[in-house]
Amino acid sequence: MVAVIAVLVALAIKTWVLQAFSIPSESMEPTLQIGDRVVVLKFDYWWSEPERNQLIVFDNLDPQPGDPAQIIKRIVAVAGDSIDSADGTLIVNGQHVDETFLSPGTTTDRVTPQVVPEGHVFVMGDNRANSKDSRFIGAVPVESIVGHARFIAWPLSRLSRL
């Protein structure tokens, strides 16, 4: 009986509370490295809206053979924001964005000028040259967000908040 309760509690936690997510690619470097395990809180958006700069895990909207079912990226714009790029930098609502988390020399390009639709967020990987993100798959529907990545849990040498 105790084992059954333990399994049910574990399933409930994984379904509604938190999930470990393994980083499968270099698309979020330098913030996240291949093999890092992050803890994703699934309930963060029950009471609040996603915000710029948050790292989110969402269902892959355009899976190709071999692609992961879920992806992690950074929110760079939310519903109603206008987004563009110029001179290698991201522009949100007419303002150049200072993205200190990017590696030195990283440029942002190939952003089609647009307004993020209601109920969506625009996401990008921190490794802009190696990221399949909203520049290619479009804005991400909020309902496809699995959760908010809050900290790196593994390896222990990289334990930190995100």
> Shortest CA distance to 39 belongs to which of 22, 16, 27, 59?
22
Q: Which of 73, 85, 131, 134 is catalytic?
A: 73
- What is the pLDDT, as a whole number, of residue 62? 79
Check if 27 is active-site: yes
- What is the pLDDT, as a whole number, of residue 9? 59
Q: Which of 27, 85, 131, 134 is catalytic?
A: 27
Query: For residues 147 and 142, what is the distance between their CA atoms, to the nearest angstrom?
Result: 10
pTM, two decimals, is 0.88
- Going by pLDDT thresholds of 50, 70 and 90, the confidence category of residue 67 is confident
Query: Which option is the CATH number for 2-161: 3.40.190.10, 2.60.120.10, 2.10.109.10, 1.10.3720.10?
Result: 2.10.109.10
| Alpha carbons within 13 A on the beta-carbon side of 47 | 3
Check if 73 is active-site: yes
Identity of residue 160: S
Q: Which of the given ranges, 9-13, 73-77, 85-89, 102-106, has the highest pLDDT on average?
A: 73-77
Q: What residues does each domain of the chain span?
A: 2-161
Contact 17, 146 (CB under 8 A): no
pLDDT one-digit tens code per residue, 78-91: 999 999 999 899 99
Q: Which residues lie closer than 8 Å to 89 by C-beta, 6 or more apart?
A: 96, 97, 99, 107, 108
Average pLDDT over residues 126-140: 93
